[in-house]
Chains A and B, each alone.
Chain A
Amino acid sequence: MLSRIAESLYWIGRYLERAEDTARLLESHVQTLLEDPITDEGTATSHLLAVMGIEAEDEMGFDSLVQMLGWDTSCRASMVSAFWGARESARRSREVISADLWEAINTTWNMVRNNRLQRHRAPEACQLIRERCALITGLVDGTMAHDQGWQFLMLGKNLERVDMTSRIIESSMINPDEDAAWMNATRACGGYHSFRLTHRGVEDPQDAAEFLLLDRLFPRSVVFCLDRAERILMRLDSTSGLGQLSETIRVLGAARADLEYRPRQELLGSVSERMALLQTAIASTDLAVADRYFDVANSVTWQAGVR
């Protein structure tokens, strides 16, 4: 498979997941603010922006937060920017993705571009993005051959999901002592109901933390996604025939082991640091994958007569 196409597919996966998770984050943030009488709106908002890697200007109100993470095309963390990225990558790999998939992505783009998304109220806009992303993901699964290209797409999706789940957790820790924080994070990941089913309705923050970080069955838990990504990398790498793990897998495996084999009681302490470590691991895996698969040979440049 062409390296450039593999890279495009990888980024379709990443951007789609980013758009969807940003929608989830925004939705749950709005909900939390409504329900929580104590937290100061300004503090919560700048905390959320800091988690998303945006330097907050002082006194950001609710409206400008929705603007920034929702439809600001100049802000790279916004839902619209993320979706634009997915669409642009799809356009560049249009000859390999299925026609259904392309059409779903393009139709969605027509729904949100040119400031069309902001005609909806914020919760509706988030829901639209969430649902369209789910539809597109369904088409990825149901209409593309599960070949190497598909693996790259799923790799991107899972890596991004780890990154975004870690950010969702981080953003919920406005007040780390509060029991509700982990519940909010679970809700933002769309896992509240499956968590309650798993734990029979008992809402214990320790359980919730384990559920989001370690659950092997919930598809948005960190370990679940790390495991998926690792398996995909293993399959992509099968041709190398070397007896050692490649660089791409090593970092991911270490991050997973760090979570899985850590004593449970340490899990809840220093959450922010742990999440930051996860994000670093994802970033270095991203680099390793690009190095290994996307920049195969150094490019040759021609400068008028001298080579």
Chain B
Amino acid sequence: MATDRLSLVFGALADPTRRAILARLAAGEATVADLAAPFSMSQPAVSKHLKVLEQAGLISRNRRATARLSRLEAEPLREVTTWLARYQRFWNESHERLDDLLAALQAGQEQDPCPGPVATAKGNDDEQD
């Protein structure tokens, strides 16, 4: 996944109007007039947003008869969610381990109110390998 593409996608998603346009396109293809209708916005202003979305690869546009139709492209969104999913997994796994540790510490505390030695991991302690 190219990071610059990710930046384009995030930039495109940063605007609430563009997110609303994407949400509308999730329901199906639409013309500029269709998309402009819910907003108090001119068609040229909507076209500008469509251009940003198109550059990010989030939509494609094609012409049918005289109307130009915009359509949602799901792949960049998938990349964004995949990007976050990795980070999510890192922290999920860390926090699950922390859950286990906290449970073990609390179980130990019931028997011994002062568990574990004071940490001395400062500096250069040589481990076995």
A and B found bound together: no
Q: Which residues of B contact A (CB under 8 A)?
A: none
- Residues on A lying within 8 angstroms of B by beta carbon are none
